[in-house]
Amino acid sequence: MPIYHHPTPIGTAVITEQDGYITAISVNGDDQPTNIDAPNQTLLTAIEQLDEYFAGKRLVFDLPLKPEGTRFQQEVWQHLQTIPFGSTVTYTQQSRQMQQPLAIRAIAAANGKNKLWIVIPCHRVIGSGGELTGYAGEIWRKKWLLEHEAKIAGVGQLSLLL
């Protein structure tokens, strides 16, 4: 299972590939470990698309993804991919859009198990009062990503509560 470390404006992206699919992308601290092997074509494509995203040139990812999770988690992650670039929804809105209004906590928990950060945009889900909650990559990264997308999408600065 090839793993590649790639610098980004918010820290080092750790990208995992298996059998031609991207299975995980997370962002760690700013230390970039040395990559032992050159990235394969799937990893190169992921790196290129992440670079384009951070440069403001990519709004939608087109990668072969294979997230591992339950059927319910898969449904939640598929829904996350329908949230437009530069937009946010609340956990309550997400549960209603998924026609599961009583499953807010289960949906939030599934969001938290997303291993394909940025590409499956769980950062676009916020608390009902506009607060930034529930991001495994630390709240400051979630805020950075949302402000980056708002700027690129031309919606100005999002009004975010901490």
DSSP 21-78: EEEEEEE--S--PPPSS---HHHHHHHHHHHHHHTT--SS----B-----HHHHHHHH
Which is more confidently placed, 126 or 33? 126
Looking at residue 162, its pLDDT comes to: 38
Which is more confidently placed, 1 or 46? 46
Catalytic residue numbers read: 122
d(CA 46, CA 25): 9
Model pLDDT for residues 134-162, shown as the tens digit of each residue: 788 889 999 999 999 999 988 755 554 43
* CATH of region 71-153: 1.10.10.10
Looking at residue 69, its pLDDT comes to: 97
Residue 36 pLDDT grade (very low, low, confident, very high; cuts 50, 70, 90) = confident
> Tokens representing 48?
């290129």
Would you kindly state where each structural domain of the chain is located, as residue ranges?
Answer: 3-54, 71-153
Looking at residue 32, its pLDDT comes to: 67
d(CA 27, CA 15): 9
Model pLDDT for residues 6-30, shown as the tens digit of each residue: 999 999 999 999 999 999 999 987 6
Confirm if 116 and 25 have CB atoms less than 8 A apart.
yes
Q: What is the rounded average pLDDT of the residues 79-96? A: 96
Tell me the pTM: 0.91
Looking at residue 133, its pLDDT comes to: 86
* Beta-bridge partners for 13: 6, 27
